[in-house]
């Protein structure tokens, strides 16, 4: 994830005097936070947490935007930091609220104690915007319940573009946000089914990463009204199953600041397409719902999950528990001004990691403030949210954005016994600490067993920003990780020949599951999530068609800011006049073959199956545009690549030898030099060697065929001498990614493989390509 500039205005660390109450966890939502009807639906109980508040009031509304409250109630402190009030439905109706109930809170505390003379927009009782203990209470800011199951609208939307309304500080503190603020919606439990969850082993999955809106927004096969919605996404289940996808991983679907995306048409202004600025960890994003009525987004999300489950496809969510949409202070020199929409106004010291002095925030996210993942109550919210999405909404697994922050063992700015590794506060990743969030998640949930069954699939993006936050390979058993090393080393092998040292031994390690990263911690090849590209960076096509990034383009391909400068991309000599589009397609076929033929769990980005391009934009977070949406109108070459991808995925599914549950042994995999001789240590260690071949003994996996894979990383042709296939068989070609084989049948269907020969047969393989043979 890269930092979106678009939210800077809105979203632009504790010697805890009066330390927050942090009860030990005992059950999912053990404090029963949130708003819920009683069984008879005659009353609603509202419960919210704040360890430092001195007064809390509930405000009820008849609609979510543009109206004053219809009623308000004082909450009582009921212990353990929980504030509660139960309101009869009859009283709510008498106040004029006869439909859905919208609500928010106002809170007072040490920096702004309650005064009986206070009124909306008043400074009565004010002492400071932030006090020495880090409190930031401001009763002029209506606060969203962190446990709200749906919310009314984003702070910025078609009707309001003024972020100042939600700010603290001298210029903004007395501006009342009540009519503009996001409200929670009290829901009656949905009766919509989410279907039967697939129990497939993770090693057998092929993951497809995509944005909900982008999946169908310009898909002519979907009814126009359903495009870009959960309902539309569910209608694509059969098509994704036909491609061979077994798990769809959606970019963030929890409420995020994206209601303003369409305010300025055909412009990147105020757009947040990826969705990494979470406003509510329980609510499905209303922007993606066809049915936007109260309860509609929840039921529609559940129906989408059911549609995927009916097609045998798991549903994964990309979740962002490392920061929130409130961000940090608007300025590094002014601690007083910050956005207050929810957590910050309820309990700043609980939900955020404060620097020494408690005026500012630690930031390992690039967004301004670390979520306080070592705090028990803040952890509770993470766990309770995951449980809700799993049990109520039907989700099968999660990808955790900047998950290294969830391994942070620092609590706040000064030394505490709870965080002994952080005498100065800050950031310290510690997978051995049972109290860090990544271990709390393991203790609260069942991880899917290796052989399949019920449980969650957990994927970490194993890095953040600064400190010791790059933790690829450092997560505990139970976690899988996005393997950035796989991406980088194989891109280097294809695109950096002559520019940097290429290690064929590293490539071999990537092909066989990255044991150097995962074996020592007791994990397995399938804990390596293998990808060549994802949303954050160049598309598959652009990895092999671009000499670096080009983000300063006109709409719809830009402009975007940020993005890495380390792309390991190359246009295959096209701009120099030495390469062609054929070379680019050959390189893309080879790259996709790497991720689908390697041991591990393959992850592809939506659109890779037809060579989608963003014209070299590698950070298109802000482009809710035709360029970023998928399309089903393809050229012949794109259709041919789709066929290649579909057959490649089917081959992986058909051959368990490619999906090992444990590490390959020397009896299962043999490595060869191009000459056919065994690859020795001298061969592995010679950085002038760019080609490698290996066989996988199919019989040891119950596979009817053994497999031979040869990769020629050299620029010119290399002749491979084939080893002996199993007795009574010969080698047959399934695919050769070389230019000569470009077309509709680059990858042949079962039974149509070409005979190549037996032991000692030679095969001339073009440069920068991959050969796949089977024995039969």
Positions marked active-site: 401, 461
Whether the Cβ atoms of residue 571 and residue 547 lie closer than 8 Å to each other: yes
Please name which of 255, 19, 307, 44 lies closest in space to residue 151, comparing C-alpha atoms: 255
Whether the Cβ atoms of residue 256 and residue 277 lie closer than 8 Å to each other: yes
Q: For residue 296, give the 3-state DSSP assignment.
A: helix
Whether the Cβ atoms of residue 723 and residue 732 lie closer than 8 Å to each other: no
Per-residue H/E/C for 508-523: HHHHCCCHHHHCCCCC
Phi-psi region of 728 (alpha: psi -120 to 50; beta: other; left: phi over 0): left
CA dihedral in degrees (653, 657, 663, 664; nearest 10)?
Answer: -160
φ, ψ of residue 711 to 5 degrees: the values are -120, 120
Per-residue H/E/C for 104-165: EEEEEECCECCCCCCCCCCCCCCCCCCCCCCCCCCCCCCECCCCCCCECCCCCECCECCHHH
**What is the strand order of the sheet 71-74 is part of?**
71-74, 55-61, 102-108, 184-185
- Residue 86 to residue 81: CA distance in whole angstroms: 17
Q: Residue 133: which residues within 8 A CB-CB, separation 6 or more?
A: 14, 15, 16, 17, 18, 52, 110, 349, 358
Alpha helix ranges (H) inside 12-104: 89-94
**Apex CA 474: angle with CA 473 and CA 475, to 5°?**
100
Q: What does the DSSP 8-state code read for residue 226? A: G
How many helices (H) does the chain have, and how many strands (E)? 16, 26
- Residue 375 to residue 371: CA distance in whole angstroms: 9
Beta pairing class for 754-757 and 731-736? antiparallel
Whether the Cβ atoms of residue 448 and residue 455 lie closer than 8 Å to each other: yes
Residue pointed to by tokens 């080009």:
550
φ, ψ of residue 104 to 5 degrees: the values are -160, 175
Whether residue 559 has a cis bond before it, omega within 30° of 0: yes
Please name which of 447, 208, 448, 424 lies closest in space to residue 315, comparing C-alpha atoms: 208
- Residue 590 to residue 594: CA distance in whole angstroms: 6
Can you name the residues that pair with 371 across neighbouring β-strands? 352
- Residue 317 to residue 388: CA distance in whole angstroms: 12
The residue count for the chain: 776
- Residue 580 to residue 574: CA distance in whole angstroms: 5
- The kind and range of the H/E element at 486 are helix 484-495
């Amino acid at each position: 994830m890269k930092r979106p500039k678009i939210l800077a205005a809105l979203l632009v660390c504790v010697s805890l005097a009066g330390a927050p109450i942090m009860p030990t966890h005992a059950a999912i939502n053990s404090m029963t936070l949130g708003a819920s009807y009683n069984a008879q639906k005659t009353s609603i109980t509202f419960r919210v947490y704040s360890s430092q508040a001195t007064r809390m009031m509930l405000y009820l509304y008849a609609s979510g935007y543009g109206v004053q409250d219809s009623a308000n109630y004082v909450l009582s402190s009921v212990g353990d930091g929980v504030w509660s009030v139960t309101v009869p439905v009859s009283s709510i109706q008498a106040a004029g609220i006869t439909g859905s109930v919208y609500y928010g809170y106002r809170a007072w505390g040490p920096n702004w104690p309650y005064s009986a003379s206070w009124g909306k927009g008043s400074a009565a009782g004010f002492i400071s915007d932030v006090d020495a203990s880090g409190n930031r209470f401001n009763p002029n800011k209506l606060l969203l319940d962190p446990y709200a199951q749906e919310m009314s609208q984003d702070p910025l939307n078609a009707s309001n573009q003024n972020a100042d309304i939600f700010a603290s500080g001298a210029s903004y503190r007395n501006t009342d946000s009540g009519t503009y603020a996001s409200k929670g919606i009290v829901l009656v439990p949905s009766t919509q089914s989410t279907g039967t969850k697939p129990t497939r082993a993770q090693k057998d999955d092929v993951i497809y990463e995509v944005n909900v809106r982008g999946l169908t927004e310009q898909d002519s096969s979907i009814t126009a009204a359903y495009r870009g919605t959960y309902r539309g996404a569910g209608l694509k289940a059969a098509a994704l199953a036909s491609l061979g996808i077994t798990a769809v991983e959606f970019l963030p679907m929890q409420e995020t600041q994206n209601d303003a995306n369409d305010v300025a048409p055909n412009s990147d202004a105020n757009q947040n397409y990826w969705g990494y600025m979470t406003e509510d960890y329980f609510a499905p994003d209303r922007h993606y719902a066809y049915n936007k009525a109260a309860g509609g987004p929840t039921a529609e999300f559940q129906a989408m999950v059911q549609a995927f489950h009916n097609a045998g496809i798991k549903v994964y969510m990309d979740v962002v528990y490392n920061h929130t949409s409130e961000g940090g202070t608007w300025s590094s020199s002014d601690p007083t001004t910050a956005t207050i929409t929810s957590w910050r106004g309820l309990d700043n010291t609980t939900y955020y990691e404060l620097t020494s002095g408690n005026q500012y925030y630690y930031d390992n996210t690039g967004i301004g403030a670390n979520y306080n993942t070592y705090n028990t109550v803040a952890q509770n919210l993470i766990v309770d949210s995951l449980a809700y999405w799993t049990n109520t909404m039907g989700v099968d697994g999660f990808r955790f954005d900047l998950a290294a922050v969830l391994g942070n063992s620092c609590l706040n700015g000064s030394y505490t016994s709870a965080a002994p590794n952080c005498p100065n506060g800050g950031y310290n990743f510690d997978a051995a600490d049972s109290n860090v969030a990544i271990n709390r998640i393991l203790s609260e949930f069942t991880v899917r067993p290796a052989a399949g069954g019920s449980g969650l699939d957990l994927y970490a993006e194993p890095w953040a920003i600064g400190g010791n936050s790059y933790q690829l390979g450092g997560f505990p058993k139970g976690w899988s990780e996005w393997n950035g090393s796989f991406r980088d080393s194989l891109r280097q092998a294809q695109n950096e020949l002559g520019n940097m040292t290429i290690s064929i031994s590293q490539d071999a390690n990537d092909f066989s599951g990255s044991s150097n990263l995962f074996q020592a911690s007791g994990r397995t090849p399938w804990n390596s999530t293998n990808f060549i590209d994802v949303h954050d960076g160049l598309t598959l096509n652009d990895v092999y068609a671009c000499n670096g990034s080009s983000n300063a383009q006109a709409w719809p391909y830009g402009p975007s800011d940020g993005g890495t400068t380390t792309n390991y991309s190359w246009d295959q000599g096209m701009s120099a006049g030495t390469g062609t589009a054929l070379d680019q397609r050959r390189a893309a076929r080879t790259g996709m073959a790497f991720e689908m033929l390697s041991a591990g769990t393959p992850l592809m980005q939506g659109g890779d199956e037809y060579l989608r391009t963003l014209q070299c934009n590698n950070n298109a977070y802000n482009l809710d545009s035709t360029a970023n949406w998928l399309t089903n109108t393809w050229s012949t070459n794109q259709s041919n690549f789709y066929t290649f991808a579909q057959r490649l995925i089917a081959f992986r599914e058909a051959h368990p030898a490619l999906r090992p549950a444990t590490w390959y042994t020397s009896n299962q995999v043999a490595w060869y030099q191009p000459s056919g001789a065994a690859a020795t240590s001298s061969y592995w260690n010679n950085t002038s060697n760019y080609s490698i071949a290996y066989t996988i003994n199919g019989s040891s996996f119950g596979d009817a065929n053994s497999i031979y894979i040869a990769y020629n990383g050299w620029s010119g042709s290399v002749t491979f001498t084939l080893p002996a296939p199993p007795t009574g068989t010969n080698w047959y070609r399934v695919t050769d990614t070389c230019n000569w084989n470009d077309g509709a049948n680059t990858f042949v269907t079962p039974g149509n493989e070409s005979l190549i020969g037996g032991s000692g047969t030679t095969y001339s393989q073009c440069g920068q390509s991959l050969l796949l043979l089977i024995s039969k």
